[in-house]
Amino acid sequence: MNLLHGQFGEDGGIQWLAALLGLKGTFGDPHVASLTMNKHAMSLFVSSQLSPDIVRIPKTRLIKPKTVEHEIPIANSIQGPVVVKPNSLGSSILTEVFDDPVALQDDMSEMISEILRYDRAALLQEYIPGSEYSCGCIVNASGIMLLPVVEIQTQRRFFGSKEKNCSDLYGLRVVDDSDPISVKVKDITNKIAGAVDLYNIARFDFRVNDESEVYFLECNYLPGLGTGGIFPTMLQGAGMTVIDMIAYILNSPNLFGAKDHIRV
């Protein structure tokens, strides 16, 4: 079972290697892994599948090394706080919200430069006031099992690098299944998971504003499974452990098999 996180482990690298070598396992489709790791591309995919009355996408600018000087001033046109984050790095690495993008433009430029040392692109994204929610799922040959929705609670209502690296700065609350937000987030998760053809496990992150409008943030193709983490908290809410999850998947695995090439 593939439990390799981050670059190469969940960005399509190990998935392509497994496909080329003909290895059977829970690696999944390399195309899907590559798509979900690319936050900008995944957001475009979601917006093409679901209308804004179901789920919205925050206003976003893709920043590449050659466009930095041109794109950063455009952040001034995004009203309110702006989030700066990598396009394809996980674990909330180098992710921060800037309350005043005009006054803090130099700080934003510095963070973007740091991101571009490790990623091919950075994102400038409007900050959505409200709360952050996450919903995970387990996928095997029988179909999609949705896990309980978890609210990520932070003092500044933002889950960035600081919070991710300090458990004292955030709390996790399992949302009751009957809660309208849980119902809505689960429905959206089920629609996206079905459309993107996932294998085994995934976690979807959202923002929900005060009007209960849901905004898609990203898909974690291989969510963290460490003690006290978001996905294990979902499993606990469903009466499962990580070991139970692995056994459930391996009992009826949704295996990816590369198709034969057309010979001409």
177-215: pLDDT as tens digits = 999 999 999 999 999 999 988 888 999 999 999 999 999
Does one domain contain both 173 and 198? yes
Q: 99, 126, 153 — which closes off a domain?
A: 126
91-113 as b/e: b if 16+ CB within 10 A: ebbbbbbbeebeebbeebeebbe
How high is the mean pLDDT of the chain?
86
Q: Is residue 233 part of a domain?
A: yes
pTM > 0.85: yes
More confident residue, 72 or 7: 72
Q: What are the structure tokens assigned to 5, written together?
A: 């996180």
Q: Does residue 157 share a domain with residue 49?
A: yes
Res 18: pLDDT? 65
Question: Is 74 in the same domain as 154?
Answer: no
CATH number of the domain encompassing residue 69: 3.30.1490.20
Single out the residue of 193, 187, 237, 234 nearest to residue 212, CA to CA.
187
Beta-carbon contacts of 41 under 8 Å, excluding residues fewer than 6 positions away, are 35
The parent domain of residue 37 ranges over 13-56+129-251
Q: What is the pLDDT of residues 159-172, one digit of tens each?
A: 888 887 788 889 99
Report d(CA 93, CA 37) in Å as an integer. 13
Which tens digit of pLDDT belongs to each residue from 107-161? 988 999 999 999 999 999 999 999 999 999 998 878 899 999 999 999 888 888 8
95 shares its domain with 204: no
Question: Is there a domain that residue 2 lies in?
Answer: no
Do 64 and 158 lie in a common domain? Answer: no
Q: How many domains are there within the chain?
A: 2
